[in-house]
């Protein structure tokens, strides 16, 4: 199916974007990579009469790493993140290759993924595990909020009509010994998650967990972080017994729905398996760095 007719603008500055948003209001939609919006328009699930393509805002396509953390422009493409090297944030590179297929990864952006707020999207889970926050800008103000507050409901965020998501900020991890895994069950390669689990763990020199982040995709109406499970990990030695205990807890967090991808019970069970598998792999990786 073809989308309904629309006007297309490609502003060069954020000020121009704000002007267009003010002029066209609800009729306008921001276009980033187009990998969620355009399919929806083709299916006539969305019919904006104006598209504001923000792809020319070059300053939103790069990242800056400082002592405080990593600040990523909202227009960074999945592919760029997949091929970037940020040793302090291994979860980013773990997650990116799981998103869709190379064609989608070449066009889709991290900001577009968050703004679309699909509960099964991979970045939501990974960035919640990383404790990320977002920067949102409009003509009158810049606001920052925890990603957790940004996700309001199914496909719904805290973005107001005149606002643009501009940056995603990830705080520096607690220790240099930071390990990560992204585990995803999909029906076929490139599909959205039946269940996705993002894990990042920072270990102290004696193997105690200094910081833990566990994000989940498709386990609730919004991507969410399994805080109870995270708090069971912190301050304790990472051992097979602890891993068993917390993976059980993780499967009880969230509120998955039964759908054509699987029953709620199956999804909980897979979440348990993934948390156990991911943490066991991290433990093994840490032990191998100790004996090297
Ligand atoms: C075949 C296929 C398979 C896919 N598989 C996966 C998958 O396995 N995992 C996964 O996570 N994703 C998957 N996706 C989605 C993909 O990751 C999209 O790239 C992403 O969800 C949207 O990013 P985008 O840059 O393309 O945004 P767009 O499609 O351009 O925009 C999406 C929405 O966000 C708004 N928006 C975009 N950027 C901003 C901004 N900076 N500020 C405010 N609003 C903004 C738009 O107005 C629109 O409402 C898949 C997509 C396709 C087509």
Kindly state whether residue 1 falls inside one of the protein's structural domains: no
> How much is the pLDDT for 163?
97
Point out the ligand 1 atom lying closest to the alpha carbon of residue 29: 47
What pLDDT, on the 0 to 100 scale, is given for residue 137? 98
10-residue mean pLDDT profile of the chain (292 residues): values are 91 98 96 97 94 97 95 98 97 97 97 97 98 97 98 96 97 97 94 96 96 97 95 97 95 92 95 98 94 75
CATH assignment of the domain containing 224: 3.30.390.50
Q: Are residues 14 and 100 in the same domain?
A: no
Expressed in angstroms and rounded, the spacing between residue 195 Cα and the centre of ligand 1 is 18
Residues 126 and 229 in one domain: no
**Same domain for 194 and 108:** no
Last residue of a domain, one of 112, 139, 171: 171
Q: Which domain holds residue 21?
A: 7-53
Residues 91, 32 share a domain: no
The distance between the two most distant Cα atoms of the chain, rounded to a whole number of Å, is 63
Q: Is the shortest distance between the CB of 35 and ligand 1 below 6 Å?
A: yes
- The pLDDT score that the predictor gives to residue 212 is 98
Q: Are residues 24 and 91 in the same domain?
A: no
How many domains does the chain divide into? 3
Q: Which residues pair with 209 in a beta bridge?
A: 203
Note the pLDDT of residue 37: 97
The predicted structure's pLDDT at residue 2: 84
**Hey, whose CA ends up nearest to atom 36 of ligand 1?**
112
Q: Which atom of ligand 1 is nearest to the CA of 40?
A: 29
Tokens of 121: 């999207």
The angle subtended at Cα 223 by Cα 281 and Cα 128, nearest 5°, is 60
Q: How far is the CA of 259 from the centre of ligand 1 (A)?
A: 22
**Residue 13: what pLDDT?**
97
Identify whether the C-beta of residue 13 lies closer than 8 Å to the C-beta of residue 57: yes
Query: Measured from the CA of 164, which atom of ligand 1 is nearest?
Result: 42
Whether the CB of 99 sits within 6 Å of ligand 1: yes
């Amino acid at each position: 199916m073809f989308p309904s007719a629309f006007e297309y603008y490609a502003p060069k500055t954020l000020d121009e974007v704000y002007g267009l948003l003010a002029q066209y209001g609800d009729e306008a939609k921001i276009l980033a990579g187009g990998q969620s919006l355009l399919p929806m328009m083709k299916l006539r699930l969305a019919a904006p009469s104006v598209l504001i393509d923000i792809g020319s805002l070059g300053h939103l396509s790069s990242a800056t790493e400082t002592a405080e953390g990593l600040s990523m422009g909202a227009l960074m493409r999945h592919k760029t993140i997949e091929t970037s090297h940020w040793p302090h944030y291994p979860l980013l590179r773990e997650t990116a290759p799981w998103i869709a297929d190379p064609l989608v990864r070449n066009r889709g952006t991290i900001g577009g993924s968050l703004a679309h707020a699909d509960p099964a999207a991979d970045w939501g889970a990974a960035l919640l595990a990383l404790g990320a926050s977002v920067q949102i800008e409009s003509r009158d103000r810049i606001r920052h909020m925890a990603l957790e507050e940004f996700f309001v409901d199914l496909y719904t965020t805290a973005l107001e009509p005149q606002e643009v998501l501009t940056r995603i900020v990830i705080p520096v991890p607690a220790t240099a010994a930071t390990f990560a895994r992204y585990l995803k069950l999909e029906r076929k390669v490139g599909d959205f998650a039946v269940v996705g689990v993002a894990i990042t763990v920072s270990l102290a020199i004696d193997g105690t967990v200094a910081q833990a982040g566990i994000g989940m995709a498709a386990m609730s109406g919004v991507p969410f972080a399994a805080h109870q499970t995270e708090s069971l990990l912190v301050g304790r030695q990472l051992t097979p017994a602890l891993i068993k205990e917390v993976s059980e807890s993780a499967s009880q967090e969230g509120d998955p729905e039964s759908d054509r991808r699987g029953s709620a019970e199956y999804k909980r069970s897979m979440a348990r398996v993934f948390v156990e598998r991911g943490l066991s792999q991290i433990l093994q990786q840490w032990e191998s760095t100790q004996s090297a």
